[in-house]
Amino acid sequence: MSDVITETLDDYIKTQVLEAWKGPKTVPEQEYFTSGHRTCQGCESALVMKLMAKAAGPRTIILGSTGCMYVANTTYLSTPWSVPWMHTQLGSSGSAATGTAAGLRALMRKGKMEKERINVIAFCGDGGGADMGLSAISAALQHTEYNLLILMYDNESYANTDIQVSGSSPYGANSTFSPPGKERRIMHRRWKKNTAPMLAAGHPECKYVATVCMSYAVEAMNAVRKALSIGGPTFIHSLDPCPKGWDYDPMFSHELGELAVETGIWPLYEIEEGKIKMYGKSKRIVNGQMKRKPVQDYLLRQGRFAHFIDEDIEYFQAKTDEMWEKWLIPGVLPFSAEA
Amino acid sequence: MNPPKTATAEQIVIGGSEELISGSEAIAHACRLADVDVITAYPIRPYDTVMQYVSQMISDGDFDCEFIVAESEHSQFEIVKHASAVGARVFVGSSGVGWFYAFEAMAVTAGLRMPMVAMVGNRALDDPGAFGVEHNDALAVRDLGWMLVWVETPQEALDTALIAYRVAEDKRIFLPCAVSCDGAFLTHSQAIVNVPDQATVDSFLPRYDRGDKLLHPDNPITIAPQANEDWVMEIRRQSDAAMRRARGVITEAYEDFGDKFGREQEPFIERYMMEDAEIALVGMGTLALPVKVAVRKMRAEGRKVGFVRVRWFRPFPTEELQDALSDVEAVGVIDRDYGFGSSFHSGVLANELRAALYPVENQPKIVSFIAGLGGREVNTDNVIVIAGMVADAASGGMNDQDTYWIGVRE
Ligand SMILES: Cc1ncc(C[n+]2csc(CCOP(=O)(O)OP(=O)(O)O)c2C)c(N)n1
Ligand code: SF4
Ligand SMILES: [Mg+2]
């Protein structure tokens, strides 16, 4: 047992180094999330799964929380995963990643398993992640000795159980738990959680937190590759248009993702070793090179906001303006500096 | 509550050392000797003393494992479940409401057939708050595919934890196993324990090998997909088969344990002064201490009383109990748990035993007692009163279709 003391931490903390892909043409064809799933047509979360696995490559273990990406993806005897995959409980993405990484580390350190850099990714939905799983994710992000990525695919509802509002659903959205009715137009009055910055701010040793959207697929895959290379626990939050829950024609998934970014509702940024870097159109918005589109261009394309009247749209616009005009770090971190 | 840095009495004996240690410390030694790879802790009395000992061993360099202080019991159990899937030997534990906080994780651990050993420091559930022992915490998982075993002494705790690893990780079984230790009476009470040497343990306990169930890039399987009505029943049936096989594997493990460590014991139950017994008392855990003293006293007065201590509750020792109890006139079951609204308002063990003895010819009368809840002491006088009531039931002078609370203010 004494050799344990002499080990260098370095031996076990190393990650795979996955270089960024320069553009779509440099992305390999090989898939690790293949046929066999039965998600809705136009499901952007399924695209997240596919490109996340592609970005990580074959030496990866993926853990998946309950939700659409479990239930609709892994029907017994028809798994789409060609990398090892295991279900974890709704609130357990943080624990699944921690346990897997800890198991591998212990076995490799004690010479019971060949030393190798194996990626560990746990994914969760917004319900499983930002609501139920928040404490376990928070704990996971403190364990700097484990290399792991938690990816939260945010379709802005508890989708799998038939579309119920979560803490990540946008203000006013129609869902089966927040249906507009004769007396009350707006049943869901909570403002969407600002999850990625909350986790970044709350876990100063976490080296990488990013937001992504699959309308910008190469950037999203490179975020995954960076998260897996940088070392320690990391977190990625993706916004995924969901035709069923958002109520639009599946052919517009990609476009809605773009609109979420262009209206400023979904800012894209990386927080890498304490430095915030806006990217893509969000960067242009911050730099004043691009004007945000009005939020109604996004909201009115979706049935979940069909009950909105002008007043609701104005409220939504005002709250979004606040993010960019009043926040300490525009689009990312609230609080305004005292005048 | 801080664990002592060094054992209070230490003396090298053949094949190990003798130490004065508590049940919790004994199980910490079992973890060290089993070379456990991942341990998760969360504080709750009284089980958490085991984690204090484990963490001290790690910080002293006597034991190497990943030791994770989780942010909740749910995570505690989920973390080790996933570590077990990649081939790590794991240890976990809890008490009372902490055990319940992990309930979802415990259900899936058993459903997934994920081997692990957990220590339960049996404790009353809130509310009202109480630190003391009750068995309802551990018993709550009794139908999920967890093996459950109760122990009486620190020595038995250590031995049983090693046996639990061997059985849980046996490919024929692959089920989690919980070792139940009565809060305070065992977790915090010391006795002289033979702590075995590493070589003997290694000869008894093979490495955990998941074979083709290992979650690893070289073996890219999908674990726990959505099975629905197409397959769930077949999968449940496999768990049932594993639990049935556990009987034989446990017996094998005790035999081999006896050979290697020189401590022979009957695997499922302990029979105490049962030869020629006319009435028998039945219970689990440290209740055995006052009961054994009382039985000796009553024997000295010529009363033919014996005691059967149930070690394994899952798999339930149906055959052994039928064998041990079919010749007595009446049985008194002392439950340190409750089953509100159950048949005869009895405790869990009493009703389980009624079911086991139902097919026996000349079935003995079975009287149910509830005692020692929330850590209340059960003393020898209580036991003698109980034995008297059981004798009355044997002669038809007492209703055996009810449950009697002992040592309670009415
Ligand atoms: C502990 C627990 N509570 C409730 C459920 C029921 N449930 C299954 S999937 C799901 C929705 C999860 O929502 P989210 O994490 O956002 O994933 P999505 O379905 O949207 O992909 C819920 C609530 C569950 N599986 N486990
Ligand atoms: S409901 Fe939404 S997230 Fe779920 S499979 Fe359909 S499109 Fe995807
Ligand atoms: Mg969701």
| Residue A176 forms part of a structural domain | no
Sequence letter at residue A134: L
CA atoms within 13 A on the CB side of A146: 31
Peptide bond preceding B46: is omega within 30 degrees of 0, i.e. cis?
yes
Burial of B37 (0-12, 13-18, 19+ CB in 10 A): buried
Establish if A143 touches chain B: CB-CB under 8 angstroms.
yes
* Confidence at residue B12, expressed as pLDDT on a 0 to 100 scale: 44
Instruction: CATH number of the domain at A237, please.
Output: 3.40.50.970
The total of structural domains in chain A comes to 1
pLDDT higher than 90, residue B51: yes
- Strand A275-278 and strand A148-154: pairing? unpaired
pLDDT higher than 60, residue B190: yes
Residue ranges of A 76-115 with Cβ closer than 8 A to chain B: 76-77, 79, 81-89, 91-92, 94-100, 102-107, 109-110, 112-113
Contact call for residues A122 and A150 (beta carbons, < 8 A): yes
Report d(CA B244, CA B240) in Å as an integer: 6
pLDDT digits (tens, 9 = 90+) for B229-286: 999 999 999 999 999 999 999 999 999 999 999 999 999 999 999 999 999 999 999 9
Band of pLDDT at residue B201, cut at 50, 70 and 90:
very high
ipTM of the complex: 0.96
CB proximity list for B112: less than 8 A, separation 6 or greater: B81, B85, B223, B224
| Residue A248 forms part of a structural domain | yes
Query: Rounded to an integer, what is the distance from CA B360 to the centroid of its chain?
Result: 26
Establish if B360 touches chain A: CB-CB under 8 angstroms.
no
CA of A68 to the centre of ligand 2 (A): 6
A40 CA closest ligand 2 atom index:
6
Report d(CA B10, CA A326) in Å as an integer: 68
**Class of the domain covering B17-261:** alpha beta
CA of A163 to the centre of ligand 2 (A): 9
Extents of the domains making up chain B: 17-261, 269-405
| Residue A108 forms part of a structural domain | yes
Instruction: Report the alpha-carbon angle B385-B389-B393, nearest 5.
Output: 170
Write the residue in A74, A84, A97 that is nearest to B215 by C-beta.
Answer: A84
**Class of the domain covering B269-405:** alpha beta
Put simply, the answer to whether B78 touches A88 (Cβ < 8 Å) is yes
Domain housing A281: 2-170+187-334
pLDDT higher than 50, residue B106: yes
Q: Which residues line ligand 1 (CB under 6 A)?
A: A 66-69, 90, 124-128, 155, 157-161, 166; B 104
Nearest CA to ligand 1 atom 2: A90
Asked, colleague to colleague, whether B17-261 and B269-405 share their fold, the answer is yes
| Residue A339 forms part of a structural domain | no
Put simply, the answer to whether A98 touches B226 (Cβ < 8 Å) is no
Report how many Cβ contacts below 8 Å link chain A to chain B: 154
List per-residue pLDDT tens for chain A, 339 residues long: 444 444 565 666 788 899 999 999 999 999 999 998 899 999 999 999 999 999 999 999 999 999 999 998 898 988 999 999 999 999 999 999 999 999 999 999 999 999 999 999 999 999 999 999 999 999 999 999 999 999 999 999 999 999 999 999 999 999 999 999 999 999 999 999 999 999 999 999 999 999 999 999 999 999 999 999 999 999 999 999 999 999 999 999 999 999 999 999 999 999 999 999 999 999 999 999 999 999 999 999 999 999 999 999 999 999 999 999 999 999 999 987 777
> A83 contacts in B (CB within 8 Å)?
217, 220
| Residue A191 forms part of a structural domain | yes
pLDDT higher than 70, residue B344: yes
pLDDT higher than 60, residue B14: no
Write the residue in B81, B207, B217 that is nearest to A84 by C-beta.
Answer: B217
Average pLDDT on B354-358 reads 97
pLDDT digits (tens, 9 = 90+) for B365-403: 999 999 999 999 999 999 999 999 999 999 999 998 999
* Confidence at residue B10, expressed as pLDDT on a 0 to 100 scale: 45
Check if A68 has its Cβ closer than 6 Å to any atom of ligand 2.
Answer: yes
Band of pLDDT at residue B31, cut at 50, 70 and 90:
very high
